[in-house]
Amino acid sequence: MRLKAYQLLTALCLYVIIPFGNLLAETKLPYLQTFPIISADSLGVYFRNETWTAVWRYGLGRPACVPCSLVRPPEPDKNRAVFYKGDRFFVSGDTLSWAKGIVTGKTYVLPNPTDDALRELYKVGGLKPQATLALGEEMGPIAAGSDRIWFGLVLFDELSQAAVSGLGWFDLETERFVRLYSADIGRLRPRWMAVFGDSVLVLCSFAAQQEENSRLYLYQIHSGEFLETSPRDLGIAGDHFLSALRSGDSVFFSTDYGISLWQPDKPARNFATLSVSARMPVGLSFLTFEPEGEVPFDTLPPGVSTRIWWQAGEWVEVAVPRPVQGFVSSESWAEFGEIWQKRYWDCPQDSCFARIQIPMSGEPQAADFIHTPLTYLDSAPEGVKIGVNAAWVRIQDVVPTFVETQLHR
């Protein structure tokens, strides 16, 4: 699809260049943090999940994770009011209020649904035209631009529970409403809106299942096109939008891959929790999965960010300060060596790991690794000598850190 109003680009400004598309080509990374709740105040933008809050201060280059217990973000904006050209507009149910100054204002109620709106409702609900209906209609969220007040719309029938969503606008010059319903949206509900130039963005989702069902729609004012757009159409890393927040000319998106900053006519910036750091020195260990075992190995210094290789339960496999050398049998290398040298191994996550014998204090110590590249070094009497840049750390001992990623097509 063509999104003329945005001049969408996919090249990114990077601090650390990681081709995101390649990383996710084979598997969904289990350690990516999602932040479905967004709010903002005069200091910055806050992205929350149950454990962490990602704080992005205005003017800073990237967000930082802190425990939810250490920060109190404001509550999310319900997007039911907007200021435009000095006046305040807000919606409640099927009513739009236009406040001019402190004491004067007008109230406008949506007229009866049009035949086009009913046609879309019949289509979504599988209703017959002669069906008995108990109609209701609600506005919200709300946005402003192009001399119009824009709002999400839901038309529903209380008897059949059929519902259809869309967007509408109130023309400030003619003081009339216009509706645009779409059966393609189905039972999704508008949750957020923003107007940029001659285009309107509308984020819709099921309230109880935001991650799997959120969709972003774009309405082009001049052409009248109303089409779904994907995260990658906007240069955003992710398969699903979780939520959005506008601040000035910027939109902050939360996705199932991380968080992103989008601005018209600029490359999007994407951040994902692809690394961790420690606030104080924490122990790194070698693990064995079958049987379970743990051997202390090294220390991760405080303030040092290290990339994540994988996550298994309460343990995170990370890059270590100094690479490790060990041995695998010649037979195992002949069978699995080609797989083990890749970034992601073509085998089930729960049953595929490489057991390496690592010399420690004169005694070989068994250590298991998964989804981290093993480097062939040499053949030896002990087997095949390999190098590996990984160890394990407990997830509660480290803090997720963001890496700016390149959306690679």
Per-residue pLDDT tens digits for 260-298: 999 988 999 999 999 999 999 999 999 999 889 999 999
* CA gap 345, 81 in Å, rounded: 50
Residue 143 confidence (pLDDT) above 90: yes
pLDDT band at 16; cut points 50, 70, 90? very low
CATH number of 20-270: 2.120.10
Q: In this predicted structure, what is the pLDDT of residue 11?
A: 21
**What b/e readout covers 324-333, taking b as 16+ CB neighbours within 10 angstroms?**
bebbbeeeeb
Q: Which pTM was predicted?
A: 0.86
| Mean of all residue pLDDT scores within the chain | 87
Q: Which run of H or E residues covers position 404? A: strand 399-405
Q: Averaged over 130-141, what is the pLDDT?
A: 88
Residue 26 confidence (pLDDT) above 50: no
Residue 313 confidence (pLDDT) above 60: yes
C-alpha angle 33-39-45 in degrees, rounded to nearest 5: 75
Residue 128 confidence (pLDDT) above 70: yes
Q: Averaged over 219-243, what is the pLDDT?
A: 91
Cα distance between the two ends of the chain: 16
* CA gap 258, 226 in Å, rounded: 27
Per-residue pLDDT tens digits for 157-191: 988 888 899 999 999 999 999 999 988 887 789 99
Per-residue pLDDT tens digits for 344-400: 887 755 557 899 999 987 788 999 999 999 999 999 888 999 999 999 999 999 999
**What b/e readout covers 29-60, taking b as 16+ CB neighbours within 10 angstroms?**
bebbbbbbbbbbeeeebbbbbeebbbbbeeee
Residue 67 confidence (pLDDT) above 80: yes
Structural domain boundaries in the chain: 20-270, 276-403
Q: Averaged over 330-343, what is the pLDDT?
A: 92
